Amino acid sequence: MPLFDLTGRRALITGSSQGIGLALAKGLAQAGAQIVLNGRDTAKLDAAATQIPGAVTLAFDVTDHDRVRAAIDGFEARHGAIDILINNAGMQHRTPLEDFPADAFERLLQTNIASVFHVGQACARHMISRKAGKIINIASVQTALARPGIAPYTATKGAVANLTKGMATDWARHGLQCNAIAPGYFDTPLNAALVADPEFSAWLEKRTPAGRWGQVEELVGAAVFLASDASSFVNGHTLFVDGGITASL
């Protein structure tokens, strides 16, 4: 369907050398987009790029505002427009809140929320001048819920959803659509410790109406929808892809 066709558009996905980011990159490529992979490990980025025909890499630290701006501005000057941005880079740290290290808290803030501001602003400045652009921020089921040991992570993902609303409020009038995807529990490297824990997996299967872990490929449809013309009047929305976990007690 033409509404979902991304042919001729370029998509930058942060944190896309593995996990959800790489799965979304592959999915958008299948929908026709040219892919720009981002991360800090150039070897991992190069390996990921071999899995996506025509993909290019753009290595930079998403937590460094000046380097983000220089990388985005430089890429646009050399190669042309970034039409779609997926802010996917993120990290997790599990410790009871009373023992949570202050330095880990700061890293979570920088990686999970400040990066969304840095990269979002750098790309939006170009999108605004073109009166078109798509920004998709990766939130989490923890945008709406909390679990023991990850309170700071929960705070950052709640902030992602509200920053998404703010982006839409400021930038919709310039032709941008800014939305978020909130994944539930997916089998990813970030969740490897939980996937390997039989007790947690058994709890998750009972807690989730779908009765299982999500597979990263199941996020692609939501991403293609929000990246395409099919979502031309969708703005400031957080789309939960979670097997129903936020819908049930």
pLDDT score recorded for residue 13 = 98
3-state DSSP assignment of residue 134? strand
Vertex 178 angle, CA 177 and 184, to 5°: 130
pLDDT bucket at 158, cuts 50 / 70 / 90: very high
Q: Which position among 60, 105, 153, 186 bears the catalytic label?
A: 153
pLDDT of 249 over the 90 cut: no
The pTM of the full predicted model, rounded to 2 decimals, is: 0.97
How do the residues of the chain divide into helix, strand and coil, expressed in percent and rounded to 5?
A: 55, 15, 35
Question: What pLDDT, in 10s, does the model give residues 128-144?
Answer: 999 999 999 999 999 99
Question: What pLDDT, in 10s, does the model give residues 192-238?
Answer: 889 999 999 999 999 999 999 999 999 999 999 999 999 999 999 99
Handedness of CA 46, 10, 135, 66 (dihedral sign): positive
The question of whether 185 is a catalytic residue gets the answer: no
Q: Compute the mean pLDDT over every residue in the chain, rounded to the nearest whole number.
A: 97
Note the CATH number of domain 2-247.
3.40.50.720
pLDDT of 166 over the 90 cut: yes
Domain ranges of the chain: 2-247
